[in-house]
Chain A
Amino acid sequence: MKKTIALLGLAMAACTNGQGNVDVTTSNRATFPAPVALPGALGQVSLTTETDVNLDVHRDLASMAKVGTLGVIISQDSVSGADLAQVDQVTATIATADGTMPARPLGRAIVELGSTEVGLSSLPSDPEVLRYLQEGPVVVHLTLTGALPERPITLNYALDAHVAIGVALSADSL
């Protein structure tokens, strides 16, 4: 796809001025270990488990950045799967894999009883998320809380972005 982006750029001759658009989609299996108990009020016990999901789209974003200025809208940030029905709350943080950018909250959601898919409300701005994705491979740390089954849990995590590219290429920049 990177070769195609480059070829399309060259095929568009010496100067181009316009807007490109592309959807970046990631979908990863998230396997959570068997949960541990958290003591709660009035003796209630809530279970929690957590796992890391690795995402790496920085090379594709770097290819796009060569042809123009990037703008991003996070179109989907969600967790899904049959095991989600027993989850009360999902929280996510994002950090670069090499630690150059520290972990910060990415999103959270309260899961309705019986739901198999939930969208995470976005906490940082979309441009801030883009900064993380452009920096390098990132780690999304997911935490589940609720009346979880005492076994490993498998869910699917999806983070999709619509990227707008403001193209202003000249012969000198190619």
Chain B
Amino acid sequence: MFGMAMDVGVPDGAGLALSVRPVDWLRVGAAVTHNTMAPGARVGVTLDPMRTLVGITLTVEGGHYWSGTVPGIQGAPAVAYNYANFHTGLEFGDRSSFRFFFHGGASWLDMSASASQSALSGLSNLSYRGWMAPSAKLGFSLHF
């Protein structure tokens, strides 16, 4: 069973996904994303074991954002990051057709920023690696 989804959240940004359900309780998806700075990509797996109108899910995803500058900040450095989401979720609707969902949990971030030439303040090679919580997203999925 194939489907699509749209979602928005942190650190994912906005995403448009295609998914496939090889079995009823498993959803595998891939998405293109955008975080207002640059495009990105994401893949993930969702366990959806409950055949009820309100379901509890577990989702593990990994994503990458290419380098982009923070909008509205002159001389902003270019930021890129990889992330991994570990989310539990509440999903409302029929998992075989339309569902609205809210996912939340924690994410692992691996972020780097390079200073632009106009931001010559003696700082360079800024990076961060670690956990952030909470991370969350909401959206809807449609399967056919």
Q: Specify whether A and B are partners.
A: yes
CB distance from B78 to the nearest CB of A (A): 10
Residue B56 at the A interface, CB < 8 A?
no
Interface size class of B (residues with CB under 8 A): 20 to 34
| Cβ–Cβ < 8 Å partners of B129 in chain A | 18-20
* Given A1-B119, A7-B70, A12 and B109 contact (CB-CB distance below 8 Å): yes
Interface size class of A (residues with CB under 8 A): 20 to 34
Residue A34 at the B interface, CB < 8 A?
no
Complex Cα–Cα for A16 and B113 (A): 17
Q: Are B134 and A12 in contact (CB under 8 A)?
A: no
Q: Are A12 and B119 in contact (CB under 8 A)?
A: no
CB distance from B59 to the nearest CB of A (A): 17
Interface residues of B in 115-138 (CB under 8 A from A): 115, 119, 121-135
Q: Are B132 and A23 in contact (CB under 8 A)?
A: no
| CB-defined A-B contacts under 8 Å, sample of 26 | A4-B70, A4-B77, A7-B70, A8-B79, A8-B111, A13-B132, A15-B131, A15-B133, A16-B130, A16-B133, A17-B131, A18-B109, A18-B131, A19-B128, A19-B129, A19-B130, A20-B129, A21-B125, A21-B126, A21-B128, A23-B124, A25-B124, A26-B122, A60-B122, A167-B128, A167-B130
| Cβ–Cβ < 8 Å partners of A22 in chain B | 123-127
CB distance from B121 to the nearest CB of A (A): 5
Residue B73 at the A interface, CB < 8 A?
yes
| Cβ–Cβ < 8 Å partners of B125 in chain A | 21-23
CB distance from A152 to the nearest CB of B (A): 26
Binding site for B on A (CB under 8 A): 1-5, 7-8, 11-26, 57, 60, 167
> What 6 A-B pairs are tightest by C-beta distance, nearest first?
A18-B130, A20-B128, A23-B125, A22-B126, A1-B121, A12-B132
Complex Cα–Cα for A23 and B129 (A): 15
* Given A4-B73, A19-B129, A13 and B134 contact (CB-CB distance below 8 Å): yes
Binding site for A on B (CB under 8 A): 10-11, 70, 73, 76-77, 79, 109, 111, 113, 115, 119, 121-135
Complex Cα–Cα for A7 and B109 (A): 15
Name B126's contact: one of A5, A16, A17, A57 (CB within 8 Å): A5
Complex Cα–Cα for A88 and B135 (A): 58
* Given A4-B73, A4-B113, A7-B73, A15 and B132 contact (CB-CB distance below 8 Å): yes
CB distance from B57 to the nearest CB of A (A): 21
Closest to A67 in B: B128
| Cβ–Cβ < 8 Å partners of B73 in chain A | 3-4, 7
| Cβ–Cβ < 8 Å partners of B135 in chain A | 13
Complex Cα–Cα for A21 and B127 (A): 5
Q: Which of A1, A17, A22, A26 has the most chain B CB within a 10 Å cutoff?
A: A1
| Cβ–Cβ < 8 Å partners of A21 in chain B | 125-128
* Given A4-B76, A7-B73, A18-B109, A12 and B123 contact (CB-CB distance below 8 Å): no
